[in-house]
Amino acid sequence: MTRYRLTIEYDGAGFVGWQRQDNGLSVQRALEDAVFGFCGERAQIYGAGRTDAGVHATGQVAHVDIAKSTTPDTVRDALNAHLRPAPVAVLAAAIVDDTFHARFSATGRRYLYRIVNRRAPLALDAGRAWQVGVPLDAEAMREAAARLLGHHDFTSFRSAACQARSPLKTLDRLDVARSGEEIRMEIAARSFLHNQVRIMAGTLKLVGEGKWSADDVSAALAARDRARGGPTAPPDGLYLAEVRYDGASGGAGQPADDSVDDDF
């Protein structure tokens, strides 16, 4: 049995999310069906982040154990052949030791949230960005975003359905920058709460509209009350961009409150 680490991209619009569910096709199931098509094995795919329906990925990481004697390049190419026409691609495959776990070994995750700030409808980016028609002040959003950096209780930025054991998380990066009509948020942490990134994006949009100030963001954070946080931004603009690991194979670790992500 050989363990393979897979780097994956996908358009989440047509899926019920990463995780297998009874109500439709998931990215996990599409990959597991591709493994079966390739080698006839019913193997389970373990992902680093359990993205919600409509959330995309350019750097999702997963692992799978395959008994068939093969090579990483063959695994990549065969899975891609069996994934068609689903909007999922295995970008790379590598052999790792059996202590590697895509989720528990991860030491950091980076997300991108895209807002297209214009009145005209999205022809090319429909379903892949959040269109906001009213003008947004990206500099005000950037200044307010700094209030969320560091180690905090993020209850106000956590879905009511979140099952994480603790609301305490450490936000390492939350950059906001405008390039033309697009506003991009780069968010990085070891792990996140359910919908944390999307709620932060929805909150900063209020700041960009002039409805909230940076002090309002600080007050929402201090309140530790979901009702005091901003709205949950749509999934369209959210991308799992990168998962980081320490060491050659990542190493296994015991899950802790600030080391395992939930859902996005």
Exposed/middle/buried for residue 172 (C-beta within 10 Å: 0-12, 13-18, 19+): middle
In angstroms, the CA 136 to CA 206 distance is 9
Paired residues of 175 in beta bridges: 186
Is 33 catalytic? The answer is no
**Cβ contact 109:192 at 8 Å:** yes
Selecting among 22, 52, 172, 215, the annotated active-site residue is 52
DSSP reduced 3-state for 175: strand
DSSP reduced 3-state for 248: coil
Cα angle 52, 57, 58 (rounded to 5 degrees) comes to 175
- Compute CA distances 135 → 3, 100, 116, whole Å: 49, 45, 10
| Phi, psi (rounded to 5 degrees) for 181 | -90, 0
In angstroms, the CA 191 to CA 49 distance is 9
Exposed/middle/buried for residue 161 (C-beta within 10 Å: 0-12, 13-18, 19+): exposed
Could you give the residue ranges of the DSSP H alpha helices within 175-262?
196-209, 214-223
**Closest CA relative to residue 208, chosen from 102, 154, 130, 96:** 130
Instruction: Tell me the catalytic residues.
Output: 52
